[in-house]
Every structure is written in C-alpha cells, then in structure tokens.
Amino acid sequence: MTVNEQILEEITACEKLLIGIGEEWKAEEMPDIGSLYEKMAGLIKNKDFFIVTTVTDGEILKSSLEQSRLVAPCGNETWRQCSKSCSKDIWEPGEIPQEVCPHCGAPLTGNTIEAEEYIEEGYLPQWKAYTTWLAGTLNKKLLVLELGVGFKTPTVIRWPFEKSVSLNNKAHMYRIHGKFAQLPETVKGKADAVLESSTEFFRKL
Ligand SMILES: [Zn+2]
C-alpha cells in the first residue's frame, strides 16, 4: 500500500482527525491554495475533525471548511486591529473602509502575530473550542496530519502535536514537509515522516 492509500484509509477509519497546517500553505507561495482547501473539505466531510493553522492570509476562512472546527492562533490578516492596540476591537474585512482606528485615529493593521501588539481575543474563543475538542480525543483513535509545519512557531502546532500523539496510545501521525519532516523519539512507532512538499503531496492525495 502506498502512503497515500494508507492515509486515505486511516482518514476513513479514525474517530478523531487533527490537522495542522503550516508555512508551506501560504497563499503567496501557492496561488491555487483555495482548491486544496476545497479538496480537504471533501476528504474530511462527516469526520470529527479540528484544524489548527499558523497561516495568516485568511484563505482558509473563504473555504467551505466548517469554520467552527478551525482555529488560527497566529491571526488573520483580513481581520483588522488598531496598530497602536488602543482597544481590543477587531474589525471584519471592509468594516472600516478608511482603515483608520475609530478610537484613536491610528492606522489599522492585520490582526496577526506580526502586529506590534497582537490582540489575541480574535482567536481565543476558537482556541477554547479546540482545547475542549482535543481533551475528547484521549483514548480515541486519533489521526494527526501535520502539513507543512516547520519551526517558525513550533509551540503552536509542531511540539503540542508531538505531545498529543505521545500521550494517546491509539494515535497515529503523518508529518509531511518538504524539509523538516523529522520526528522525535517520543513519537517513535506512532508517526511517519514524509519528506515531500505537503501541498504537492496533498494535491496528489
Ligand atoms: Zn486605536
């Protein structure tokens, strides 16, 4: 059986499906990223899944993936915040067409970790949903697909995913990355590394 066939079979068989999406999925590197998200939506529909992404371009929010099952802890450029962080307000795209903070007059900026003072309230409700969901994966057949997550912000996906896999005896992980597919000892026997661009891999899945 090829890795592709194996993954498809495990998607069908798992009770819980955790997906991590990282740097390789940035729209600037992948103009047709929307089609990959639609492919994902088709592959995992009807599954009990959760997606964590560190990508901040907001493309995933435009997809048909169930938005209540995803969290973007590094934020989202299409949501706007005050560049001086004078308030915790976050505005939807186009809500403030002038792109100026209505409270202090400072320019607006993307609500992401790149902001001088990142207003984390944007993702916290979904983060809570994620941690609750994750707590429910213990003792369940958990499949983890980590797609293109490198070392830019390893505390968000990479290291916590390794921990979740090491704690769950029914977990299995695929780490797919063009450069950084290596696995630590802690997940030995429970994880497979695929040294290939995760977007290319996913396109062929
Ligand atoms: Zn302001």
The whole model's pTM is what?
0.95
Q: What is the pLDDT of residue 91?
A: 96
State whether 41 and 14 are in the same domain: yes
* Centroid of ligand 1 to alpha carbon of 82 (angstroms): 5
How many Cβ atoms sit within 10 Å of the Cβ of residue 32?
9
30-49, pLDDT tens digit by residue?
Answer: 889 999 999 999 999 999 99
Q: Averaged over 108-120, what is the pLDDT?
A: 95
Q: Which CATH number belongs to the domain containing residue 167 in this structure?
A: 3.40.50.1220
Q: Which residue has the higher pLDDT, 1 or 131?
A: 131
Q: Kindly give the interhelix angle for 33-44 and 3-13, rounded to the nearest 10 degrees.
A: 50
For ligand 1, the distance from its centroid to the CA atom of residue 106, given in whole angstroms, is: 5
- Domain check: are 139 and 58 in the same one? yes
Ligand 1 centroid, distance to 89 Cα (angstroms): 9
Say whether both 87 and 147 belong to one domain. Answer: no
CA of 78 to the centre of ligand 1 (A): 17
Residue 115 alpha carbon to ligand 1 centre in Å: 13
State the total domains in the chain. 2
**In this structure, are 136 and 200 located in the same domain?**
yes
Ligand 1 centroid from CA 156, angstroms: 28
Are 66 and 162 in the same domain?
yes
State whether 63 and 103 are in the same domain.
Answer: no
Going by the DSSP 8-state scheme, the letter that residue 69 receives in this structure is: G
Q: Is 7 exposed, middle or buried (0-12, 13-18, 19+ CB in 10 A)?
A: buried
The verdict on 61 and 137 lying in the same domain is yes
Residue where one domain finishes, among candidates 119, 151, 181 = 119
Q: 138 C-alpha to center of ligand 1: Å?
A: 43
Q: Can you tell me the mean pLDDT for 164-168?
A: 97
Q: Say if residue 145 is in the same domain as residue 64.
A: yes
In the reported structure, the alpha carbon of residue 90 is separated from the centroid of ligand 1 by a whole-number distance in angstroms of 11
65 plus 160 within the same structural domain: yes
Query: What whole-number distance in Å separates Cα of residue 48 and Cα of residue 76?
Result: 24
Distance from residue 96's CA to the centre of ligand 1 (Å): 12
**C-alpha closest to that of 158 among 76, 74, 55, 52:** 52
Q: Is the pLDDT of residue 181 over 90?
A: yes
| Separation of CA 95 and ligand 1 centre (Å) | 15
Query: What's the CA-to-centroid distance between 107 and ligand 1, angstroms?
Result: 8
**pLDDT at residue 193, as a whole number:** 98
| pLDDT tens, residue by residue, 66-93 | 999 999 999 999 999 999 999 999 999 8
- Give the phi and the psi of residue 12 in degrees, each rounded to 5: -65, -40
Residue 28 has pLDDT above 90, yes or no: no
Question: Using an 8 Å Cβ cutoff, are 56 and 112 in contact?
Answer: yes
Same-domain status, 84 and 60: no
**d(CA 119, ligand 1 centre) in Å:** 12
Same domain, 193 and 93: no
Which of 103, 119, 135 is a domain's end point? 119
Range of the domain at 92: 77-119
Q: Provide mean pLDDT across the span 169-197.
A: 97
Ligand 1: centre distance to CA 98 (Å): 13
- 30, 58: one domain: yes
Separation in Å, CA 202 to CA 4, 133, 145, 158, 196: 9, 25, 11, 18, 10
pLDDT per position as a tens digit, 5-14: 999 999 999 9
d(CA 104, CA 83): 10
